[in-house]
Structure 1
Amino acid sequence: MAKTHDLSHLDALVDRHMNLREVRNRIRTEDSRPDTGTAAGPDGPFVTVSRQYGSGGTALAARLSLELGWQLFNKEILEAIAENAHTRIRVLNGMDEHLIGRIEEFINHLIVPESINQFAFIKEMSQVILTLGHRGNVVILGRGANWLLAGDAGVRIRTVAPLERRIEAVAQRKDADRNEAERLVVESDRSTAGFVQKIFGRDVDDPLGYDLVLNLDRMSEDAAVAAVHSVLHRLPVWQMAAQ
């Protein structure tokens, strides 16, 4: 479950995301451009980042968020919003009721939880992820977002790196010895794979669940960012927004 988050912090984060969308809607209106369902419209664009622990995916997500000017939602924030009814309602507010119904139907058919309590929480978190992806202009880190959101409106990324490289990175970041770092990496891999298999019935390493699989041991962060931008700019929703 999520760590405790100050409600005012969550509200401020949601406000920032909503205000960004309103500004872009005004720009589109003032430019007399048709609503194309793109950067200011109801369907993306978005970026999701799934990462092997220690592969560099967290830093890549933060950089993409900064360069694109989009809000970053990580695991802790997503879970905190899902757990807090007040903030969750604010995220869902303004969504078409028919769309919300379609989202609920999709979730009911997709996730396969083990308990009723787990189902309620996963459903709420999935609602948040789907709504954020639908609204667009977000980078979503973790929580199986790539299995929930369609690739035609965003870019779904998986970052990987060799085990030894990831162990070294975690050891340095955590100031831990090699054995402890290896334990953390292996446990994270096992936990993530179990979550995706249990909730979505999918293999986290299935490349067809992603639009880009980036080996950050073989490419620089600059090259990875360029690859994401290249795919993002080819999306119909992005191209229509530029017209």
Structure 2
Amino acid sequence: METDMEHEDRQVIIAVGREYGSGGHEIAKMIAERMNLPFYDRNLLSEVAREKGIDVSAIEKYDESPRRAFVSQTVRGYSNAPEDGLANMEFDYIRAMASRGDSFVIVGRCADAILAGNKGLITIFVTADDDRKIERISRIVNVSEAEAARMIRAKNKKRKSYHNYYSDGKWGDSRYYDLLINSSRLGLEKTADVIEAYIKARTGQS
């Protein structure tokens, strides 16, 4: 199906990094829906699995996970780590979409780094205040605030390790993104408004 962006013959790729609990996933999905663009997050796994003929349940636990060095090794430039295997399959899939000229919104998966240099790429990072992240995760996952804080630390440590392992840029460092925004200031809807306005300004849309 032809999207609005593709109809204008101008590729736009919105790569969204996010802290756990910041609402970055929801904001990215809003942007995709508003701009009529395909949206990729965990559903990218299903696309990769179908292309490779792999059972998605066999690979989902390795999604956005850094390689565990103590249980893997590299021989003649090739790694036997399943984390590396899945990461490279996802990266290849993302590069292929970009090479075809597809426009899309993608969350995580180091898209900001692996597509660096693409003229249509716009990189966003969504952060939030700790108390707001804790309140959000506590409510959504139905856990105590202490457990929510523990989950946030663990998830963000994993995301940071994954991104920094496969990328030259540093996860969450404003120097490596076009726009870094704190969703606590305006809430999810209005944060999406700001990001959408930025994207339209960048792409010359009214």
Closer, same or farther: CA 131–231 of 1 in aligned 2, 3 Å: farther
CA contact (8 A) 1:154 1:232 kept: no
**Structure-to-structure mapping, 1:1-243, within 5 angstroms:** 19-20=1-2, 38=10, 44-74=11-41, 76-86=42-52, 115=74, 116-118=79-81, 119-134=84-99, 135-150=101-116, 152-235=119-202, 238-239=203-204
Q: Give the AA of the match of 2:103.
A: N
Deviations 1:56-105 (A, max 9, x none): 1111011111111111110x2223333443579xxxxxxxxxxxxxxxxx
Aligned mates of 2:130, 2:158 — CA distance in 1: 16
CA contact (8 A) 1:49 1:159 kept: yes
Deviations 1:84-138 (A, max 9, x none): 43579xxxxxxxxxxxxxxxxxxxxxxx966413443322211111223342321
CA shift, 1:196, in A, is 1.1
CA contact (8 A) 1:45 1:133 kept: no
Aligned mates of 2:53, 2:96 — CA distance in 1: 13
* Structure 2 equivalent of residue 91 of structure 1: none
CA shift, 1:47, in A, is 0.9
Which shifted more, 60-69 or 76-85? Answer: 76-85
CA shift, 1:144, in A, is 1.4
For structure 1, list consecutive stretches of 5 or more residues without a partner in the other structure. 1-18, 29-36, 39-43, 89-111
The count of residues paired between Structure 1 and Structure 2 equals: 182
Closer, same or farther: CA 207–218 of 1 in aligned 2, 3 Å: same
Aligned CA-pair RMSD:
2.8
For structure 2, list consecutive stretches of 5 or more residues without a partner in the other structure. 55-65
Taking every aligned residue pair, what percent have the same amino acid on both sides?
18
TM-score under structure 2 normalisation?
0.76
TM-score under structure 1 normalisation?
0.65
